[in-house]
Amino acid sequence: RNDMIASDFSLRAVEGAPKDEPRLLKDDELCRLWYKPDNVFEMPKVNSFAHIRSSAAYSSPESSVLTNLWVQILQEHCNDFTYLASMANLHCSFVNARTGVIINVSGYNHKINVLMGRIVKAIIALPDKLEQDLFERIRDKTAKSYHNFLFSQPYQHAFYGGEQCFDPMVWSIDDKKLALAELTMSDLVDFHKRLLSRFHLEMLVHGNCSPDEASMLASTLVDGLKPSELFASNRPQTRVVALKEKVSYVHRMPGFNEEDTNSCIANIYQMGAIDIRKNAVLALINHLIKEPAFNELRTEEQLGYIVHTSIQIFGNDIKNLLILIQSDSFDPIYLDGRVEAFLDRFRSKISKMTEEEWQTNIDAVTALLREKNKNLAEESTRYWQVISNGAYSFQKLKLVANEVEALKVTEVLRVFDRYFSKESSKRKKLSVQVFSKNVAEKINETIVAKESGIEDDTVLIMLEDVVDFKREMPLFPLPKKKDVKAMMMQNEEGSTQ
């Protein structure tokens, strides 16, 4: 008999809850619980995200790999009941993250706590149930995934190169491969104890449940796993390298796959931690640049099949503008020059916009920022993204949209000239350049200003120089701790829960 099949599909009525953001039900040394009833879609379902925050998950290459193995083995052990759960429209998944492990549970609310209880039992039983055959199989699977990464597309290697330069604590594929080769089953058992002995749980419960039912779901995890309080000084943190102004950093790396004839460039223009107004400008520039970048760099100049622009975020709040080209016809040095030339033309295009063109683009960006959630899952994911980055700014998209409406061409050009123009004394740029075997002889070429159109000081970072580069660079400060007391849910008498 399947005890996870729901029979109660009644909808919970929760008075006074906002329709566009969650509220805190609990905030103590072990657990921070966010809750929002489904007062929008009115479905008998719940989505829950539980983040087991622990610095043990990523303190070394070994711990990073062990977290990966632990999550995969837990998923295997849960296969004993996930089929029955799926028949009852209940689902669970596990994600290894830089800051710990994330448990996702979703489906009909009536029996969701039964599934959570099964997961907790599987976590507790993992060391005793672990078998050598399973450990070896998961270890081999992980080794293949690391190896297969070397054969992925060059643009993925460019993203990897950017992460390696900006994140002072990220571990390389080579580090992980070395660590994996030496790990044993007893290492995983010891890691299991370290991971769960001290952690802080941050959780979102969103959907058709009462505050008491949401609290019960969190208690199932905390009471079942019985963690000790995480030391305040040992909470996982994510720092980001701060590039120096008026310096162009160039990170060159050979293509990992010698058979791939594609090269790639990823130019990353760092803005940093920016206020709502500059977020609005960046959102508008990101919208404005997409079509001309594709038309000019791909269609007209035919530089490469992949031309991509986007906002890139490192850490929780460090914003960057990314322009990426993957090409089998041109080397990254030439591509860098074409990107810089395009930025000059793009500035001119903005300055010549008519009022009608300007307003059309303003309206398009604000409509996108104010777009309503299409379903419960999309709404849950938006809330969880805000919780995960520690900002707790649930109204940020609306605030950014309000600022976009008020933007003028002159203000956007001022921001463009400061952060993206090669003439700026404030610009911060990293160019990640992946060289295929076809152009490998150029990887050691001296950077000449006229080739790239850059007049900044230039720092060349080869693959073997990345660790030393990060040691010598300053880091952005962590964002200020957000006071969430005002977000506590009020009961009917007006006091906090």
Which one, of 121, 128, 65, 123, lies nearest residue 94 by Cα? 123
| Token pair listed for 428 | 């911060």
In angstroms, rounded to a whole number, what is the distance separating the alpha carbons of residues 212 and 392?
23
Which one, of 381, 398, 482, 478, lies nearest residue 24 by Cα? 482
CA atoms within 13 A on the CB side of 191: 24
Q: What is the pLDDT along the chain (497 residues), one digit of tens a residue?
A: 899 999 999 999 999 899 999 999 999 999 999 999 999 999 999 999 999 999 999 999 999 999 999 999 999 999 999 999 999 999 999 999 999 999 999 999 999 999 999 999 999 999 999 999 999 999 999 999 999 999 999 999 999 999 999 999 999 999 999 999 999 999 999 999 999 999 999 999 999 999 999 999 999 999 999 999 999 888 888 999 999 999 999 999 999 999 999 999 999 999 999 999 999 999 999 999 999 999 999 999 999 999 999 999 999 999 999 999 999 999 999 999 999 999 999 999 999 999 999 999 999 999 999 999 999 999 999 999 999 999 999 999 999 999 999 999 999 999 999 999 999 999 999 999 999 999 999 999 876 544 444 455 899 999 999 999 999 999 999 988 899 999 999 764 455 56
Which one, of 221, 258, 220, 64, lies nearest residue 146 by Cα? 64
Single-letter amino acid code for the residue at 12: R
Alpha-carbon separation of residue 445 from 189, 258, 326 (angstroms): 49, 20, 20
CA gyration radius for the chain? 25
Longest pairwise C-alpha distance within the chain:
74
* pTM of the entire predicted model: 0.94
Residue 468: Cβ-neighbour burial (10 angstroms; 0-12, 13-18, 19+): exposed
Give 31's strand partners. 201
Alpha-carbon separation of residue 399 from 69, 384, 488 (angstroms): 41, 18, 22
Contacts 24+ apart (CB under 8 A), 358-363: 358/409, 361/284, 361/287, 361/288, 362/284, 362/404, 362/405, 362/407
